[in-house]
Amino acid sequence: MDSVHLNSESSNIHAVLFPFMSKGHTIPILHLARLLLHRHISVTVLTTPANLPFISTSLSDTASSVLSLPFPENIPDIPSGIESTDKLPSMSLFVPFANATKLMQPHFEQTLNSLPNITFLVSDGFLGWTLDSATKLGLPRLVYYGMNNYAGSISRDAVNNQLISKPISDDEPFTLTSFPWIKLTRNDFGPPFSDPEPKGPYFEFVVEAAISTSKSYGLLVNSFYDLEPKFVDYWNSHSQPKAWCIGPLCLAQELKHKSEPKPKWIDWLDRKQEQGSSVLYVAFGSQAEISEAQLHEIAVGLEKSMVNFLWVMKKKEEELGNGFEERVRERGLIVREWVDQREILGHESVKGFLSHCGWNSAVESLCAEVPILAWPMMAEQHLNARMVVEEIKVGMRVETCDGSVRGFVKWEGLEKMVRELMEGEKGKMVRKKVVEVGQAAKRAMEEGGSSWKELNELINELHGIRPLAH
């Protein structure tokens, strides 16, 4: 089968995709489903009852099958009916939630046994237990984490060379052994990884997931080779399993031009475009927990900056009070609903993104050619922020009041950097650079591009190791 030029050979391939129960982990896997379907590969997506409607709607224009597995009941501390991390009352419940998925294993295996001729399984890195099931059934497992190679490679270098434990303070820079131009701080990792002797349930969960990943067939990365060649090469010469860059996955789905009526925020952006005004998009993802004091500083900083902004907030975040929304209503819109972020970033009026640097958001911004003002909050976002700002130079960083990467951001520092991104010389430089990177991303995904070839090569390889009959 040459570069999966489809039909007779590839139509014998059946992929089962099992995303983690979190929108940020699920959406890229649904984009992957489209890439596979385009190659005439049969696709079955597994999920849970509460997540089924979102996935079924997302794939309603495709030939994929979507099946649900019962989600465990009566999990201590997890309210009944919650089947997705973005619905958790607090991210402190992440580990019990993720560990509870292990109880799905019997149903998972029963479903795999009932499906015809599976060629390979793609499951989320947080569902490490699926390796055991795949091994029992003789299926190659591919792992998806939603991280880039930069974060994985520099973390590996820092851990293996025991660099994290050396600095005296959490904010003292240290130089990476394999990447001497990169300086990090312990605060770029955060607890428990920044602790001298990491321990605890979250650390144990991550170690378990990493071991399961290392024994899997391959690692799917939502990135493209030209974006981070040094880090792809480092990973593939120092780590297992092989990383396959098959992204940016969001480009698998064309931006839909929504039918009428448009959401109110798109109407608002249309009006700004008619006025010739640029807009800053502000969103920190569905997981970050932002204090009331910090929300207040964000509001003041945006108001004082005098830029137009569209701020997507979580429903449960405090009302901003003091007449803020009324005062800024001519140039600021607050949205507390689920939005199509790509539609917003793709709007002609949006010229900057104040972002937590979750990797999906960063990739969507690159593809839309919108520069980033990085404000990392959790997980590997601090490493993503360094990549965006220091490595690929498509963004700037918010100023914290004490210089620490985890410091509090006061309104004065935010106002200054918002103005710089939207109106300053540095803003012009990163805007020019993000156009180059966005164009390169599109080329990688086009027929003959690096990500297009990489996915075909992987499928050919998997097709050659037909699974054991079961």
- At 191, the pLDDT band (50, 70, 90 cuts) reads confident
Instruction: Calculate mean pLDDT across residues 56-71.
Output: 96
Residue type, 323: G
Q: What is the pTM assigned to this prediction?
A: 0.94
Please say if the pLDDT value at position 259 is more than 60.
no
What is the average pLDDT value for the chain, to the nearest integer? 92
Please say if the pLDDT value at position 257 is more than 80.
no
Residue 466: the pLDDT is 60
Residue 69: the pLDDT is 97
Please say if the pLDDT value at position 254 is more than 80.
yes
- For CA atoms 95, 207, 218, 159, give the dihedral sign: positive
Give, in degrees to the nearest 5, the angle at Cα 146 between 15 and 440.
95
**CATH number, span 264-441:** 3.40.50.2000
Instruction: Calculate mean pLDDT across residues 244-261.
Output: 84
User: How far from 242 is each of 115, 209, 452, CA to CA, in Å?
Assistant: 27, 16, 17
Instruction: Calculate mean pLDDT across residues 31-44.
Output: 97
As to burial, measured by CB atoms within 10 angstroms (0-12 exposed, 13-18 middle, 19+ buried), residue 44 is buried
Residue 465: the pLDDT is 73
> Which range is least confidently modeled, 116-130, 248-262, 270-284, 341-355?
248-262
Instruction: Calculate mean pLDDT across residues 201-227.
Output: 96
Residue 318: the pLDDT is 62
Residue 467: the pLDDT is 52
Q: 83 or 168: which carries more pLDDT confidence?
A: 83
Please say if the pLDDT value at position 3 is more than 60.
no
Please say if the pLDDT value at position 91 is more than 90.
no
- Contact (CB, 8 A) for 9 and 36: no
Please say if the pLDDT value at position 99 is more than 50.
yes
Residue 194: the pLDDT is 82
Residue 5: the pLDDT is 47
Q: Determine the Cα–Cα distance for residues 397 and 418; give it in Å rounded to an integer.
A: 10
Residue 322: the pLDDT is 79
Q: Does 264-441 match 10-253+445-464 at the fold level? A: yes
Please say if the pLDDT value at position 13 is more than 60.
yes
Long-range pairs for 265-271: beta carbons < 8 A, 24 or more residues apart: 265/310, 265/333, 265/335, 265/339, 265/344, 266/343, 266/344, 266/347, 268/310, 268/333, 269/310, 269/344, 269/347, 269/349, 269/350, 270/349
> Two tokens at 149?
């190679």
> Which range is least confidently modeled, 6-15, 34-43, 150-159, 305-314?
6-15
Residue 200: the pLDDT is 93
**CATH number, span 10-253+445-464:** 3.40.50.2000
What residues does each domain of the chain span? 10-253+445-464, 264-441
Please say if the pLDDT value at position 329 is more than 80.
yes
Looking at the chain, the whole-number percentage of residues with pLDDT higher than 90 is 81
Cis preceding-peptide flag for 467 (omega within 30 of 0): no
Strand partners, 183: 175
Looking at the chain, the whole-number percentage of residues with pLDDT higher than 70 is 94
As to burial, measured by CB atoms within 10 angstroms (0-12 exposed, 13-18 middle, 19+ buried), residue 55 is buried
Residue 317: the pLDDT is 57
- At 395, the pLDDT band (50, 70, 90 cuts) reads very high
- At 305, the pLDDT band (50, 70, 90 cuts) reads very high
As to burial, measured by CB atoms within 10 angstroms (0-12 exposed, 13-18 middle, 19+ buried), residue 265 is buried
Please say if the pLDDT value at position 356 is more than 90.
yes
The 3 state secondary structure assigned to the chain is CCCCCCCCCHHHCEEEEECCCCHHHHHHHHHHHHHHHHCCCEEEEEECHHHHHHHHHHCCCCCCEEEECCCCCCCCCCCCCCCCHHHCCCHHHHHHHHHHHHHHHHHHHHHHHHCCCCCEEEEECCCCCHHHHHHHCCCCEEEECCCCHHHHHHHHHHHHCCCCCCCCCCCCCEECCCCCCCEECHHHCCCCCCCCCCCCHHHHHHHHHHHHHHCCCEEEECCCHHHCHHHHHHHHHHCCCEEEECCCHHHHCCCCCCCCCCCHHHHHHHHHHHCCCCEEEEECCCCCCCCHHHHHHHHHHHHHHCCEEEEECCCCCCCCCCCHHHHCCCCEEEECCCCCHHHHHCCCCEEEEEECCCHHHHHHHHHCCCCEEECCCCCCHHHHHHHHHHHCCCEEECCCCCCCCCCCCCHHHHHHHHHHHHHCHHHHHHHHHHHHHHHHHHHHHCCCCHHHHHHHHHHHHHHHCCCCCC
> Which range is least confidently modeled, 10-19, 211-220, 275-284, 423-432?
10-19
